[in-house]
Structures are given as structure tokens and as C-alpha cells.
Amino acid sequence: MTPHPPSSDPSPVVVLENAQHRYGRHQVLQGIDLTVSPGECAVLYGANGSGKSTLLALLSTRYTLREGRYLLDGIDVRQEPHEARARLLFIGHHTHLYGHLTPLENLQFFTSLRTIPTTDQQLRHVINTVGLNKAVDKPVQWFSAGMRKRLALARLLLAHPKLLLLDEPYSALDTQGVGWLNAMLTTFLHNGGSLIMASHDPERVAALPHRPWQLARGRLHPISNAQESEAC
Amino acid sequence: MTPHPPSSDPSPVVVLENAQHRYGRHQVLQGIDLTVSPGECAVLYGANGSGKSTLLALLSTRYTLREGRYLLDGIDVRQEPHEARARLLFIGHHTHLYGHLTPLENLQFFTSLRTIPTTDQQLRHVINTVGLNKAVDKPVQWFSAGMRKRLALARLLLAHPKLLLLDEPYSALDTQGVGWLNAMLTTFLHNGGSLIMASHDPERVAALPHRPWQLARGRLHPISNAQESEAC
Amino acid sequence: MLIQAIYRIAWKDVVGDLRRRATLSSMLFFAISVLVVFQAAFEPDRQEALRLLPGLLWATTLFTTLVGLGRVFQAEEEDGAFEGLLLASVPRGVIFFGKWLGNLLLTLLVELLILPLILVLFNVDAWKHVPAILAILALGTLGLTGLGTLLAAMTRGARSRETLLALLLLPLTAPMLIAGVQAIAGILQADGIVAPWIKLLTIFDLVYLALAPWAFGWLVEE
Amino acid sequence: MLIQAIYRIAWKDVVGDLRRRATLSSMLFFAISVLVVFQAAFEPDRQEALRLLPGLLWATTLFTTLVGLGRVFQAEEEDGAFEGLLLASVPRGVIFFGKWLGNLLLTLLVELLILPLILVLFNVDAWKHVPAILAILALGTLGLTGLGTLLAAMTRGARSRETLLALLLLPLTAPMLIAGVQAIAGILQADGIVAPWIKLLTIFDLVYLALAPWAFGWLVEE
Amino acid sequence: MNILKKIQLPTGILTWITLIAGVWLVFNVPDDFQQGGAVKILYIHVPSAKMALLSYLVVTVASILHLWKRSETADILAEAATSVGAAFTAMTLASGSIWGKPMWGTWWAWDARLTSMLVLLILFKGLMVLRHSLDDPVKGARATAILAIIGAVDLPIIHYSVVWWRTLHQPPSLSAGSNAGIHIAGPLLTPLLILTVAFMLLTLYMTTVKARQIEARRRLDALETARMHADE
Ligand code: HEM
Ligand SMILES: Nc1ncnc2c1ncn2[C@@H]1O[C@H](COP(=O)(O)OP(=O)(O)OP(=O)(O)O)[C@@H](O)[C@H]1O
Ligand SMILES: Nc1ncnc2c1ncn2[C@@H]1O[C@H](COP(=O)(O)OP(=O)(O)OP(=O)(O)O)[C@@H](O)[C@H]1O
Ligand SMILES: [Mg+2]
Ligand SMILES: [Mg+2]
């Protein structure tokens, strides 16, 4: 539970200003401001249905920002979504995996689409790292919930994004998986990556240096680490 | 973390003896013995892919037991799966919800298939209880992850099963949701219901009196409450 | 009791669909566009149209059914809904009949609407035979949708599902199709033979509807 | 670079499919069963068969394409895979062309195989026109699959998807169908008119393939 | 499966002997006055047609056994007989077409027997595709078995088509009591009978080989999974 010092880094990775989102007429987010510096981890808390996943979808460019400003690594995302996408990685509630492909083929497709140069050996190594070595030739549709989650998170070791977006990354993982994920995220932050995640699990987030935020009634507020356990 | 006294109830709700399951030729479970008495809660821990969901699928009659014995409330499940189904409720990784129906319609379909006599007013009350009053007329496909989970769990208040099977019930729920679920489960156990759940979350399970089990290498072992945090 | 469960399952599919008004009308418009395609592809003259009428009716019915089959279990695919249905304590046969009933009702409605349309569009004078033709269509549709529902259950979750479904359905229904076409052709001619073809259709119906619920039970077992 | 991405997306769909050997041959056999259905429904004699040949070819192509469309985005439906694809930093047009290419290749292969079969089965002597007929079929297929892929994207996740897809595709392709049928009919007749129909087909192709990637970009935006 | 190994070689040898004897006889029989040299196709056509139908019958019976007794051997037999039957069906269609050209002046006519035989080919194809389209081999086997049983209605249609409908095709001429059509006279009959026996042996041989192949492949898959899940 290391509190993160308020940073005033001159070049933040994410600058979101006055963002909002509506589903039809239902205004889910309004006037959202969020700044995240390199090496910083922002954790979004909030009740079910408060809009955390929606905010992450906006940040991931999955939803188009209709109003407000969104700079990612200095790029105006509304102008150049394409450039922005190359700099971020989003792993959401869904695993984005193809059931009829094996873990290896899934990762091959992922790296080739993003033109990340890798060899099969490296991919196998990554699959080993997330503890799926025994299932390396098994189509993903037969994986257990936690195994899918592990494979989805394995992408983190292949892409080297500036911004990482995670939606409830700890769900379905066992203790070992949580430990491994936290180690990976610590390295990622240490290397200057930025991380924004939604979670209901302050106990598990505690292992990372982070700054907590709360989403309520469509608005985002910074909170103190002490308030975390009530916020989620 | 109230340890459950070893019960020697004369008429257990679940008696599973020497159960096993294979996917193709991959033996996931072998020689599983499990007895659960009325009012008892058994929690299954185990690494990702250890077979917890598979065991729950067997107990739910979703998978047919090929070998071994399974008595549910005195009924031989292999002989009368149909009778057994009327006595249990399973809420798994999936929510079993129809996206194009509203919460009310989903619950109506659920109760009418199980011939549970209810009125719309009662159903609305249940929907309120799980905190979905604002979304009562919204098709379920637009729900957030936690809202879906809440609605899935709302069935618990309608069916009055002898045996309740839950697969990672706490995932996606916020703090309030967890509190509400634990209160509901405590009442259920208090009224003599039996509960078997798989979880990776000993902190949240701790609020319930329960007996922990560990699944490893296809076998099920009882463990002590002290060992819980390493087992999952 | 069981009847009520059948009705509830069919209700969820059909009435839910009808209330949103999309399915029936889009099936109907699909049938119309099949007719347009036939017209564009074959350009039959009036004389020919009378001869082609039975085939046109059956081919339209068949393709409409085929295209509608994907829908039968679609709602069940999402988020384990079908699993939930299987865990309710109703016999498997009831689930099958529920699904079948929904499918049957929609297909029958489309047939009812499409027949007068064909007569108008292709300018065929067979109005006095409408009830008899409808009866034969309905008779064939019983077995057709029964078989279709079973195949839809069989190919749940299969790869290239639509192609597979079509590949399996068409050859199996070929005999029914021939019988149906001949029966309607018989009606349209003054001295046509009808009875044996109707007998054949009935036999197919009985066989498929007797086998299907049982086969369905086998299919969903795991 | 972009070409490689197109290829990778098509590869995942087609080569992945072909490797499992099911798709191509089952599409072919499906096309054969469509022929059986036509025969059973219409029973054309030899003279009629020649006249119906262009329509038969196009109708078979159309239904084969239609039934194959469900497959195009099937793999993308599961567990947010399509979302993952959209988040990769490739332009939307590339994703569209990747999907289209896979679809096109399969359909062309089926046409290539089905044409000689039709000639044999319906006993039509048009062997010397085979290359010209194939060229026209291929020309029409470009636009047909382009439109089809777009519609498949449009109806992703829609309810009663197959029906809807069919409902949208058939009327939109009716003009192409007429042009295609007339062009082939022109070739089969000694003094037939072909050139203007081919021009029309080409225009349709260009319009659809120019509009589609752009429309696709709009469709997937949220 | 052991029995297959034992009978494979003897059937192979017997098949060759009868085949050679039959073919020798065929080339030493006077040409039919009416049909000329083309009649020799009869000796391929008729036996392959019989074997195609026989194979489907085997598939049907094996499918029933598979569903009823859950016998994997029956399933292997069904799969093997499916490939063999498909080959003979294709051969019947090809030889019939080739023969049809001189006899009827056309490769193909849509008469009842020819059409129903084409349907049989599509059915065989459907059986082969369905088995591998479902990712779970157990489900694939079961679905295939059910489809095979439903498809069996085509068998009587093929066989009796020439009796029920007025067809271009030859009515049964080997069966007693038939008086229509061309009778196959004595000197032509002997080689036909011998070749029919030879084809029967050939079918047995091919099915045996195929079944052993399938069995070996399944065992290999099993070893593969066993290797993958070793040690756990
Ligand atoms: C593609 C075309 C053809 C197909 C699909 C076909 C199919 C069949 C089948 C399935 C049988 C076995 C019927 C049974 O045992 O129940 C058969 C038998 C026979 N076929 Fe063909 N046939 C074709 C063409 C021909 C032609 C052109 C001739 C010669 C004129 C011919 C002569 C015979 C004869 C003599 C038998 C034996 C009849 C009997 O004993 O039942 N077939 N054919
Ligand atoms: N349908 C299936 N076909 C083949 N193998 C399967 C299937 N479902 C699960 N498995 C395999 O069985 C094993 C146990 O899976 P299961 O889902 O029961 O694990 P779990 O204990 O629930 O894991 P988690 O904690 O990740 O949810 C895994 O190795 C998985 O790959
Ligand atoms: N596609 C959609 N269409 C309409 N409304 C939607 C859609 N997706 C989400 N919503 C609504 O927007 C609100 C916020 O949803 P969101 O998924 O962002 O919540 P969340 O904070 O992630 O919740 P959870 O903790 O349960 O995951 C909810 O009220 C939900 O019903
Ligand atoms: Mg969420
Ligand atoms: Mg699980």
C-alpha cells in the first residue's frame, strides 16, 4: 500500500479532459478529468454499474470520445485514433481470444497484427511464464476461466505499450496467478509504463504503488488510500 | 472464520462417492468423495484449471456422472437426474441470462420453468433487493458485469433449493454486493440449505461458517482453515 | 404442466420476437426477396409459372426455414443460457418441443402470408385451391421444422455452422420436398394424384417427430 | 505491411478453415444439394434447362454466398475477439479487406467447381463457353462478396441474424443478379448482348468495393 | 480391435485372389449382343453400388450400437465405414455416369435412383463434416450417429426407387421373379457373382484398415494429452 507521490511530470501519458459518454439518453460519464504520468498506476473504484468499464472503453478508443479532449502520449486521440491504438493495450472483461486456435496461434495472430517481431520460441516462453505450458497445444475454448485470463494477460509480456488498461484483472486468477500478475505489473510500472485499471479488490491492488480514484454518479474523484476499501 | 464443527448428520444432502470425470481422455477428477450436511457450506479451493468448475458441473447434473455414486437428498442422481434438478440451483461462471429480455422477464421465465409460484410484485421486490431497481426495464444485454452477476444471484431468493452450487460468486461484485450476498447465504445456511462453492477469495468467504477443501491433481482433500490462503 | 413449460419456452422465443416485430416481418420480406430472385433468375411466363408454382412454394418454404434455423438456438448461445434451460427440471423432450413449436408457428405464419403473394406476383389463377395447398404446406412443415430444429440443436457451437446446417438439411428433406411438390402439383391438375404423396408426407412427419425429441435428449447429454 | 495484415486476417479465416478441410468441400456439397432441390422443385426438361442455366448458376452462387456469410464473423463473436481486432492499430479498411478476401476466395473456388457439375447434371452443352461464364461469375462475385461481407459486419450480434442478412442481401443484389443472368444468357445465345451487362456488373463492383471499407469503418465505430 | 489385426492380412490376400479371378473371367466372357464392350462396366458398377449401400447399413447399425452401448468400437467402425462407403458411392456414380453415356446418351438424368444415390453421397459427406465440426469429439460422435440413423431413410428409397417410380435405371435383375428389363444371362452372371464377393472382401479389408488407422490416431491423441498432463 505504497502511496504514490503526487506527480507533476511534465509529459503525462494520458490527459483526459471533460470526457463524457452516453448510452442513448443515459449519461454514464460526465466531466471526467484524468491525468496519468509514466510509471503511474491509477485504480478506478466504484459501485457496479458506475461506469468503470465504460471509461476504460473510452480510453481504449473502443468508444469514440464525442466531447472533451484526450491526449495519449501527446497524440490527440480524436484526430489520430490509429496512432493511439499502437501505443496502448486493453485487456477487458472479455479475453479477446479465438476459441478454435491454440494459445500459440492466438499469440501469433496477436503479434502479427501488431507487427511485433517474435519467434515461436519466445511465444512458447511467454506461455510457460503464465503457467500454461501443459496446455500449449489445446484449443483455447477448453480452457478454464483462470487459464483464459492468464493467456489474455500474457499479451502484456509481448506488446510494450505506453498505456495499459485492465478491467478487473484479478478476477478468476488463483493466488499464484495474482502474485505473478503483480510482479509483472510492478516491472511494467518500473519501466515507465502507465497503467489504469478497474477493480473491486483493494487487497490485491495493495501490492502495487498506485493512486486510487472513485467513480460515482458519473464523476471521477481522487480519493485517499484510506478510503479505498469503502469506495469499491 | 468460524470453523465448522465436523458434523455427523444422519441424513446428508450431498453424498458423492468415488466420482470422476474425463474430457476426452484427459482425466480431470478422480476418486472424489464429498459429503455435505444440511446447513453446511463447503468451499472448493484449487489452482486455475484444477477442476473446480468441472466438479460443480458434475454436482449440478450438467455433466453426467459415469462412475461412482451421487446421492442428492437421498435421491440417486444417476437414476433420476430429473428429480435431482428440482432440488438444486447452480449459478456458474455464466449467468444463464437472456440478453434481449429485461430482468423482470428473465426472472419470470426462470420461475415459470421451475413452476415456482410468484407474482410480478414479488419479482420486482427481489430485483430491488439486489439493487437493480433502476434497471428493471432495461434489456440485460446492456448491463455491466456486476449488474449481470447480481441478477443471476437474485434467483437464490426465488428458488428454495436444498443444494446451492456457486462458481466464484464474488467475482465482479462490489463491496456492497459482497455484503448482501454473504447476508443472503448466511440466511440460506441458517435455514438448513447446503452450499458448495468454488472460490479464489478466502477473505470474502471468511464471513461464512464453512469447511474448506482443496482440489489438486484431480483429488479432493479437506484442509484446515489455516491452510486456506495457500490453497487457492 | 409439461404443456405449460413447452408454451413458456415457445413464448420466450416467438412472442418475445413478435412483440419486437422484427422476426415475422423480416422472414416475410426474406421470402418475398427469394421470390424476386427466382423471378430475376428464371423469368417464367404465365404458363410456366403455373407449372413452377408448387416448386416455388416449397423452395421458398425450405429456404425460409433454413435461414430461420440459426435463430432457434441463438438466444440460448449467450452467456450459458442454454445450460440454464437444461438445468431446469423439465424433461429434454419438453425443451425440444418448446423450441420446435416456436419455429413451427413462425414458419406457418410466413407460409400463410406468402401463398397469396405468390399467386398475385406470378399472376397464377389458383385461388380456389388455396386451402388445400395450405394444408399440404402445413403438413410438410411439421416434419421440416422438426428435422430443422433437431439439426439446429445438433450443430450448436459448430464451426461454419450455417453451411453445415444447410448441407445436412437439404439432402434429408429432398424426399419430403418431392412428395410435397407432387402433392400440390396433383391438386392443381384436374386429374392429379394426391393421396399417396400425402401419405408419404405424413409418414415423414411421424418418423421425424417421434425420433427428434429422443435424439435431442442424446445430443444435450454431456 | 498493410497487405500483410490483410493476408494475416484472411489467413486466420481461410487457411485456418482449409487446413481443417471442412469448409470448401462442405460449401461445394451444399451447392450440389441446392441443385438437387432445384431439380426436385422444378423438374426442368432439357430444353428448359438451357434456358434456366444462367439463373441456376446465379441463384446457386447467391445462396452459397448467403449461407457462407454467417461464417465470416463467426470466429470474431466469441469472447470479444472482434473488439480485440478493432483495437489493433490497423486501419478499419484493412480489417474489411482481410475479411472480404477470405470470403471471396472460398466463393470463387466453389464456383469454379460447381460450373462443370451443373453442365453435367443438367445435361447442358455449353462447354466451349466455360471460360467466359466463369469470368462473368467472378466479376459478379467481387461485388457480391463485398456487399455480403459488409452486411455480415452490419448484422453482427443482431437478433435473427441469418434472416436479417438474407433480407438485406437479396434485394440489394437483385440488380447485379439480373445483370449477371443477362450477361450469361447473352453468351449462350449466338447473337446475345453481353457488353452492357458486363459494364453494369463492373460498375456495381466498383461502387460496392469503394463504399464498403468506408462504410465498415462507420459501422464498427461506437 | 485385436481381431481386426488378425483378419487384416487374410482378407487382403483373399480379396486379391477373388478380384484377379473375377477380372480374368470378365475378359473371357463374350460381349453382350446388345450392349457391346461397355457392358464390362457392369462388373464395377453393380458391386460398388451394393457395397455403398452395405456400408451405409453398417454405419447405421454401428451408430445405433454406439448410442445404445456407448461403445467406442462401434463408433470407430461407423467412422471407418463412412469413408469406405463414400468412396464406393462416388465410384457408383462415376461408373454409372460413364456407362450412361453410351446407354442413355447422357451422363446424368434426374431419375429417382440416380438422385437418391447423389443424396447418399451428400449424406456421407455430411457425416464426415459433422464429426469434425464439433470440437468435442464425444459430442461429434454422438451427433454423427444420430444423423446417420435419420439419414437411413434414404436406403430403402434408393433400393426400391426402380420399383416405385418409372425410371430410366435398370430394375433389379438379380433378384428372383423380376421379369422386366434385361436379364443378366448365365455366362455374365458368374463373373458378376465372383466380383460381388470380391468387392465384399474388399469392403471388409478397407474398413479394417481404416478402422485400425482411426484407432491408432485416437490412441495417439490420447498419448498426447497424457503427455501434456503428466506430472501435474
Ligand atoms: C450415375 C448413374 C447411376 C447410378 C447412381 C446408379 C446406381 C445404382 C445403384 C445404387 C444400384 C444398386 C441398387 C440396389 O442394389 O438396390 C445399381 C444397380 C444396377 N445398375 Fe446402376 N446406376 C447408374 C447408372 C447405370 C447405368 C447407365 C446402367 C446400365 C444401363 C446401370 C445398370 C445397373 C444394373 C444392371 C444394376 C443391377 C440391378 C440390380 O440387380 O438391382 N446403372 N445402380
Ligand atoms: N469442455 C472441455 N473440454 C476439454 N477440457 C476441458 C473442458 N473444460 C475444462 N477442461 C479442462 O479441464 C481442466 C479443469 O477445468 P475447470 O474449468 O474445471 O478448472 P477450474 O478449477 O474451474 O479453474 P479456474 O479456477 O480457472 O476456473 C482444465 O485443464 C481445462 O482445460
Ligand atoms: N452497451 C450499452 N448500452 C446501454 N447501456 C449500457 C451499455 N453498456 C453499459 N451500459 C450501462 O452503463 C452503466 C455503466 O456500465 P459499466 O459497464 O461501465 O459499469 P462498471 O462500472 O464497469 O460496472 P461493473 O463493476 O459491474 O463492471 C450501467 O448502468 C450499464 O447498464
Ligand atoms: Mg465493468
Ligand atoms: Mg472455474
Least-confidence region, from B55-59, B146-150, D3-7, E173-177 = E173-177
Q: What confidence tier does E169 reach under pLDDT thresholds 50, 70, 90?
A: confident
Q: How far is the CA of B165 from the centre of ligand 1 (A)?
A: 60
Residues of the domain holding D162? 2-221
Q: How many distinct helices (H) and strands (E) make up chain A?
A: 8, 10
Q: What confidence tier does E184 reach under pLDDT thresholds 50, 70, 90?
A: low
| Nearest-atom index, ligand 2, CA of B56 | 18
E27 inside domain = no
The ipTM (two decimal places) reads: 0.82
> Is residue A10 pLDDT above 90, yes or no?
no
- Indicate yes or no: CB of E232 within 8 angstroms of CB of B25: no
Name every protein residue with a CB atom under 6 angstroms from any ligand 2 atom: A 135, 142-147, 172, 174; B 23, 26, 28, 46, 48-54
- Indicate yes or no: CB of E147 within 8 angstroms of CB of C207: no
Least-confidence region, from A61-70, C27-36, C199-208, D70-79 = D70-79
Chains near D (3 or more Cβ pairs under 8 Å): A, C, E
Q: What pLDDT sits at residue E176?
A: 40
E6 inside domain = no
Q: Residues, chain B, total? A: 232
Per-residue model confidence as pLDDT tens digits over B7-63 = 455 588 999 999 999 887 788 999 999 999 999 999 999 999 999 999 999 999 888
Q: What confidence tier does B80 reach under pLDDT thresholds 50, 70, 90?
A: confident
Q: What pLDDT sits at residue B10?
A: 59
C and D: number of Cβ contacts within 8 A: 142
CATH class of B12-87+162-226: alpha beta
Residues from chain E contacting residue A104 (CB–CB below 8 Å): none
The residue nearest atom 27 of ligand 2, judged by CA position, is A145
> Is residue C67 pLDDT above 50, yes or no?
yes
Q: Specify the pTM.
A: 0.84
Sign of CA dihedral E100, E101, E107, E110: negative
Q: Which percentage of chain E shows pLDDT scores above 70?
A: 83
Q: What confidence tier does A3 reach under pLDDT thresholds 50, 70, 90?
A: very low
The residue nearest atom 28 of ligand 3, judged by CA position, is A49
Per-residue model confidence as pLDDT tens digits over E7-45 = 888 888 888 888 888 888 777 766 555 556 667 788 889
Mutation site, B25, B26, B54, interface E, largest E CB count within 10 A: B25
Q: Could you give the CA distance from residue C18 to residue C9 in angstroms, rounded to a whole number? A: 14
Q: What confidence tier does E205 reach under pLDDT thresholds 50, 70, 90?
A: very high
Residues of the domain holding E78? 40-172+182-231
Three-state SS annotation for B102-170: CHHHHHHHHHHHCCCCCCHHHHHHHHHHCCCHHHCCCCHHHCCHHHHHHHHHHHHHCCCCCEEEEECCC
E3 inside domain = no
The residue nearest atom 26 of ligand 2, judged by CA position, is A146
Higher pLDDT, C163 or A39: A39
Domains held by chain D: number: 1
User: Of the candidates D5, D8, D87, which has its C-beta nearest A62's C-beta?
Assistant: D87
Q: In the predicted model, what is the mean pLDDT of residues E201-213?
A: 92
Cβ neighbours of residue A102 under 8 Å, at least 6 residues apart?
A136, A137, A138, A139, A140
Residues from chain E contacting residue B25 (CB–CB below 8 Å): 221-222, 225-226
> Are the beta carbons of C50 and C124 closer than 8 angstroms?
yes
Domains held by chain E: number: 1
Per-residue model confidence as pLDDT tens digits over D128-149 = 899 999 999 999 999 999 999 9
E88: Cβ below 6 Å to ligand 1? no
The residue nearest atom 17 of ligand 2, judged by CA position, is A144
Q: Is D70 on the interface with A (CB under 8 A)?
A: no
User: Of the candidates A144, A150, A200, which has its C-beta nearest B173's C-beta?
Assistant: A200
Distance in Å, alpha carbon of C26 to nearest chain D alpha carbon:
6
Q: Could you give the CA distance from residue C24 to residue D190 in angstroms, rounded to a whole number? A: 45
Q: What confidence tier does B116 reach under pLDDT thresholds 50, 70, 90?
A: confident
Q: In the predicted model, what is the mean pLDDT of residues A67-81?
A: 89
> Is residue D18 pLDDT above 80, yes or no?
no
Q: Could you give the CA distance from residue C75 to residue C82 in angstroms, rounded to a whole number? A: 8
Those of residues 22-61 in C touching chain D at CB distance below 8 A are 22-23, 26-27, 29-30, 33-34, 36-38, 40-43, 52, 54-56, 58-59
Per-residue model confidence as pLDDT tens digits over C96-124 = 999 899 889 888 988 898 888 888 888 88
- Indicate yes or no: CB of D83 within 8 angstroms of CB of A96: yes
Ligand 2 pocket mutation, candidates B21, B25, B26, B196, criterion most atoms within 8 A of CB:
B26
Q: What pLDDT sits at residue D1?
A: 65
Per-residue model confidence as pLDDT tens digits over E48-83 = 999 999 999 999 999 999 998 888 899 999 999 999
The residue nearest atom 13 of ligand 1, judged by CA position, is E159
E97: Cβ below 6 Å to ligand 1? yes
| Nearest-atom index, ligand 3, CA of A24 | 4
Q: Could you give the CA distance from residue D148 to residue D144 in angstroms, rounded to a whole number? A: 6
